[in-house]
Structure 1
């Protein structure tokens, strides 16, 4: 089930990034081996009470003239309106209500999306409340006073945000058709791939009830099974600025990946794999989705008998954080190998939701430990007592050990590889949670 998406919009210097960082907490720095994505901090996973959501920062504006600020604010607001379930509009009590706030508020109001109006820098509620009330004039509801820097009022603000989350209806819960997000940089052929896949087989184009996204979902029947493709290529950006386009494609990718079971990352064979591809792929990896890398425009490449290997090696090198991903060379233009894509989606989905019996798992791990001794430190050796699978999508395992510090990253990777040798798990990430069992040496 997809998590709601909350987007932050606001003028320069109203404290958007301070607020983003407060909400994102320290958790964001955990993912060390995904290039690019976590450094840019465009999105973060946040949970409040029992609700989890994805927080998106729509972008920083640092121009010097009011006209540019306003046009960029509108651009940001549009991104938020296009992709978010709830929009947080941040204003600044010290600067008061300004013209740009009014104009953006009009856009947000017309969008009919839920907006939470946040008035930041209210370090002293008594002193600033009269100034906070001024923001009622925006006509988008009650202003919520907070201080991101002093962490005041954050709970009330989050209560308001989660109150707007769409109710999940039973129909959506039971929709067990495979959902496939097709993501990638602009112009790699995402739209033509979806058009070719859906071709004459297009059944319904619909927005799933309960989601307010505008991504177009296309259901397709193939060999008697129905698949839902989530297309992120629906909106055309007019932006000329490369960074803005990149940021936008990452934001779109986050919202699509959130809803998908399997993610098809489209790469342009004529261009080769790039840093931007790695950023977009990192989103699917962070989310533990099933992953297929589709190398498109393969028909346009001068090939010899080494081409596939050379291209695959290069992709593996740039996307080294996801060695498990499946690679398929296709052409959306000619339809080459597209039937293989459906087969691969089925395999990857099955692997992403595969459950292993605890007994079998422990046998594999016992064997692995016998073959390669666990690490030790200062005379103390790592002991693995027990391993069990706790969830799927992605398959997640809890490993009980005598001392967490001894479970080096490399040994976890070794255990993961042994499990993969035995069960395949092609196309899906595996997660390992290491727990200590006290009182046992």
Structure 2
């Protein structure tokens, strides 16, 4: 089941970043082996009690004039409405209730999404409560007083947020249709690929009441199997402020990737891999999703016998943190090789959900250790007692070792390569967790 998404909306200087950074705490993981993934701190993983969610900060642009602020907030609110399960609307007790707050509140109210109204900078509850009550006038529920700086009221706010999460109902458990997100920069041909692939196969589904996010999911039946395509392209609204800001498309990508089993990253063959492609790929890699890279507009490339090899090398070099990604050279225009995508999706899903019996796994481990000794430090050598698979989507392995400090990234990668040689696991990341066990056990 995908994690709920919570988005933060509010005027400049009401303390969005302070709250975001406090909630994100130390949980922003900087992934060392993921080059090209710069942290814009747009999203963070947050846990509260037994609930985990993805927090998205929609802000980050501070315009000068009043009307731009409103346009800007509407754009933020729209993104939050499109992508989030719960929206946090932050206001500021010191600035009081402002016209822009009321206009954005109207938008949020009409969206019928759960909104948690938060009044920030309340550093003295007794003194400032009368000012907090003023925010009842927004008509979107009870204002929750907090101080992001003083870390007051945060627990109450989080309790309120998690109340709105969808219950883990049976429905989620039963929907085992593969979900595929097609992502990439604007204008690389995502929509054309979806239209070509979906084409005649589109399933007409009666309007099921539910979130607006379902509206952009397209169920497709191909060779008797049903798939769900999550289209991020359909979400792009023309931004009022300059061009569609890169940050926004990334937010929508995070939301789509979060819900998908397999991510198809569409790259323009005429441009090659860009930094933004690497960023998007990094998000999918971190989330452990199945990965297919579709190089579109292949018909527009002058070719000789080395072309495919050269392109493949360039892509592999730039996306060196995901050597497992499957590559496909396609053309949405001519339809070339698009039918192969379905077979590839099936293969990647099989990899994502493959379970390896512990006995077999340890035979491979024993052989790998015999061929290449584990690293040692100051006379102490790493010992790996045994390993076992604990999860799928992505396949996750626990290795029991004598000393976690001795497990080098490069040795784990060596073990990973041996496992891949034996079982393939094409198109999916693998996760490894090291646990220490004392010699005596």
Query: Scaled by the length of structure 2, what TM-score is found?
Result: 0.96
What is aligned with 2:216? 216
Query: Comparing 175-184 with 424-433, which one deviates more in the overlay?
Result: 175-184
Q: Is the 8 A contact 2:20 2:57 kept in 1?
A: yes
What is aligned with 2:171? 171
The equivalences for 1:186-335 within 5 A come to: 186-205=186-205, 210-239=210-239, 244-335=244-335
Q: In structure 1, the residue corresponding to 2:291 is in which secondary structure?
A: strand
- 1:138, distance to aligned residue in structure 2 (A): 1.1
Q: Is the 8 A contact 1:167 1:210 kept in 2?
A: no
Are residue 409 (structure 1) and residue 412 (structure 2) matched? Answer: no
Question: CA distance change for structure 1 residues 215 and 291 in 2, over 3 Å: closer, same or farther?
Answer: farther
Q: Is the 8 A contact 1:56 1:251 kept in 2?
A: yes
Are residue 424 (structure 1) and residue 421 (structure 2) matched? Answer: no
Q: Which runs of 5+ in 1 are unaligned?
A: none
Query: Comparing 20-29 with 297-306, which one deviates more in the overlay?
Result: 20-29
Task: Give me the CA root mean square deviation.
Answer: 1.7
Q: Name the CA distance, whole Å, in 2 between partners of 1:353 and 1:436.
A: 26
Question: CA distance change for structure 1 residues 35 and 140 in 2, over 3 Å: closer, same or farther?
Answer: farther
Deviations 1:356-376 (A, max 9, x none): 111111111111111111111
What is aligned with 1:9? 9
- 1:168, distance to aligned residue in structure 2 (A): 4.1
Q: Is the 8 A contact 2:122 2:146 kept in 1?
A: yes
The equivalences for 1:57-76 within 5 A come to: 57-76=57-76
Q: Name the CA distance, whole Å, in 1 between partners of 2:200 and 2:333.
A: 15
Q: Name the CA distance, whole Å, in 2 between partners of 1:110 and 1:94.
A: 27
What is aligned with 2:22? 22
The equivalences for 1:324-363 within 5 A come to: 324-363=324-363
- 1:235, distance to aligned residue in structure 2 (A): 2.5
- 1:396, distance to aligned residue in structure 2 (A): 0.3
Q: Is the 8 A contact 2:292 2:427 kept in 1?
A: yes
Q: Is the 8 A contact 2:236 2:249 kept in 1?
A: no
- 1:209, distance to aligned residue in structure 2 (A): 6.2
Question: CA distance change for structure 1 residues 206 and 402 in 2, over 3 Å: closer, same or farther?
Answer: farther
Q: Is the 8 A contact 1:166 1:210 kept in 2?
A: no
Query: Scaled by the length of structure 1, what TM-score is found?
Result: 0.96
Are residue 118 (structure 1) and residue 123 (structure 2) matched? Answer: no
Q: Name the CA distance, whole Å, in 2 between partners of 1:198 and 1:328.
A: 18
Q: Is the 8 A contact 1:352 1:393 kept in 2?
A: yes
Q: Is the 8 A contact 2:296 2:331 kept in 1?
A: yes
Deviations 1:250-309 (A, max 9, x none): 111111111111111111111111001111111111110110000011111111111111
Counting matched residue pairs gives 441
- 1:172, distance to aligned residue in structure 2 (A): 3.4
What is aligned with 2:182? 182
Q: Which runs of 5+ in 2 are unaligned?
A: none
- 1:404, distance to aligned residue in structure 2 (A): 0.5
- 1:197, distance to aligned residue in structure 2 (A): 0.4
Q: Is the 8 A contact 1:31 1:38 kept in 2?
A: no
Q: Is the 8 A contact 1:82 1:214 kept in 2?
A: no
Query: Comparing 5-14 with 230-239, which one deviates more in the overlay?
Result: 230-239
Deviations 1:144-203 (A, max 9, x none): 111112221111101111111123442332011111111111111111101100111111
Q: Is the 8 A contact 1:83 1:214 kept in 2?
A: no
Q: Is the 8 A contact 1:85 1:213 kept in 2?
A: no
Question: CA distance change for structure 1 residues 171 and 98 in 2, over 3 Å: closer, same or farther?
Answer: same
Q: Is the 8 A contact 1:290 1:349 kept in 2?
A: yes
- 1:63, distance to aligned residue in structure 2 (A): 1.7
What is aligned with 1:389? 389
Q: Name the CA distance, whole Å, in 2 between partners of 1:410 and 1:210.
A: 46
What is aligned with 1:95? 95
Question: CA distance change for structure 1 residues 389 and 314 in 2, over 3 Å: closer, same or farther?
Answer: same
What is aligned with 1:371? 371
Q: Name the CA distance, whole Å, in 1 between partners of 2:313 and 2:243.
A: 28
Q: In structure 2, the residue corresponding to 1:312 is in which secondary structure?
A: helix
Q: In structure 2, the residue corresponding to 1:200 is in which secondary structure?
A: helix
Q: Is the 8 A contact 1:88 1:118 kept in 2?
A: yes
What is aligned with 2:107? 107
- 1:205, distance to aligned residue in structure 2 (A): 4.6
What is aligned with 1:380? 380
Question: CA distance change for structure 1 residues 269 and 215 in 2, over 3 Å: closer, same or farther?
Answer: farther
- 1:407, distance to aligned residue in structure 2 (A): 0.2
Q: Name the CA distance, whole Å, in 2 between partners of 1:339 and 1:85.
A: 34
Q: In structure 2, the residue corresponding to 1:25 is in which secondary structure?
A: helix
